[in-house]
Amino acid sequence: MARSILSINKAIKLLTYISENDNNCSLADISNDLQMPKSTLFGILSSLEENDMIKKNDKDNKYSLGLKTYKLGKIYERDFKIKNLIHPYLKNISMKYNESGHLAILCDNKALYVDLIESSHSIRNSARPGQTDELYCTSVGRIILAAMSDKDIEEYLNNIELKSRTIKSIVDKNVLLEEINNIRKTNLSYEFEEYEIGLICVSTSIVNSNNEFLATVGLSLPIIRANKDVLDNIGNDLLEIKSVIEKLL
C-alpha cells in the first residue's frame, strides 16, 4: 500500500471540517476541534489560501471554501451527470458486442477513464476508472484532440514527446494531424494496436450544444474478435449513441 502524505491528509481534513461547519470557521475553532497546533494549521491554511482553495474574511478572520473548490465541485457535478446519463447506453453497447465499454474525459492533457463496463471474455481491456492514457496514441485520446482547436493541438504537440508505445504507435506529428483531420470528418476514432499489441479501440465524442467536448465513449476489443463488419457496426452504433445523448443534453 502506498504511503499517505500527512500534510495532504491534514489539508483534506481541514477542508472537510470547514465545509461541514457552516463554511465559516475561525483558526481557534479549527485548532481545537481538529486538535492541530495553530502553527501547523497556519502553514496549511496559507497554502490553501494561496491556491484559492479557501479564503479568509478580513473582517472576522474566519475561513471559508474558496473559488477553486467551487470550480472543482462544478466540474465533478458535470462529469457525474454525464456519467449517469451515458452509463445505460455504454452498458447496452458493451452487452451487445460483449466487449469492454469506456467513458473518458479530458484531464490535464490526458484521457481520464470515469466509467468502464468489462467484457465477460478472459481476453479484454484491462483499464480501470481513474486510469489515464495519453492522447496521441489512443482512440479515446485522439477523439479528444479532434475536438480541440488547431491552436490548442499545436500547443499540446509542442509540450509532449511522442513516444512509441508499440511498433504501430503514431509518433510522426504530420501523420497524427492527418489522422485528427480524418476523425473530424467521421466523428470516429480508431486505434489499431498502438497502445497495446492485440487491442483495438473505437471511440466517438459527446459534445454540448455549443460543440464543446464533454466526453468520449467507445469500445475496446482484441484483434482476434475484430473484422471490418464488426468494426463498422460498432462505429455506427457509437454514432447513434452520440446522436441520442447530444439531443438529451
Classified as helix, coil or strand, 182 is: helix
Residues 164 and 61 placed together within one structural domain of the fold: no
Residues 111 and 13 placed together within one structural domain of the fold: no
Residues 159-183 pLDDT 10s: 999 999 999 999 999 999 999 999 9
Residues 99 and 145 placed together within one structural domain of the fold: yes
The pLDDT assigned to 154 comes to 95
CA dihedral 83, 84, 88, 90 (to 10 degrees): 0
- Low-confidence winner among 47-51, 64-68, 86-90, 147-151 (lowest mean pLDDT): 64-68
When the pLDDT of each residue in the chain is averaged and rounded to a whole number, the result is: 88
Which class for 17: exposed (0-12), middle (13-18), buried (19 or more C-beta within 10 A)?
A: middle
What is the domain count for the chain? 2
- Low-confidence winner among 19-33, 108-122, 155-169, 220-234 (lowest mean pLDDT): 108-122
Residue-level length of the chain: 249
**240 within a domain of the structure (yes/no):** yes
Most confident of 42-51, 73-82, 235-244: 235-244
> What CATH number does residue 181 fall under?
3.30.450.40
**1 within a domain of the structure (yes/no):** no
Closest alpha carbon to 83 in 102, 64, 67: 102
* pLDDT higher than 90, residue 39: no
Residues 46 and 169 placed together within one structural domain of the fold: no
Residues 28 and 127 placed together within one structural domain of the fold: no
Look at 194 and 125; give whichever has higher pLDDT. 194
**70 within a domain of the structure (yes/no):** no
Residues 116-149 pLDDT 10s: 898 776 555 656 667 888 999 999 999 999 999 9
- Confidence band of 98 (pLDDT split at 50, 70, 90): very high
pTM of the predicted model, to two decimals?
Answer: 0.69
Residues 49 and 124 placed together within one structural domain of the fold: no
Give the domain extent around 35: 6-65
Over residues 52-61, the mean pLDDT reads 89
Over residues 45-54, the mean pLDDT reads 89
- Confidence band of 5 (pLDDT split at 50, 70, 90): low
The pLDDT assigned to 2 comes to 44
> What CATH number does residue 41 fall under?
1.10.10.10
Look at 222 and 127; give whichever has higher pLDDT. 222
The pLDDT assigned to 1 comes to 37
Residues 13 and 112 placed together within one structural domain of the fold: no
**39 within a domain of the structure (yes/no):** yes
Instruction: Give the residue carrying C-alpha cell 481520464.
Output: 112
- Residue 191, CA distances (Å) to 14, 143, 219, 240, 247 in order: 44, 10, 11, 20, 27
* pLDDT higher than 60, residue 227: yes
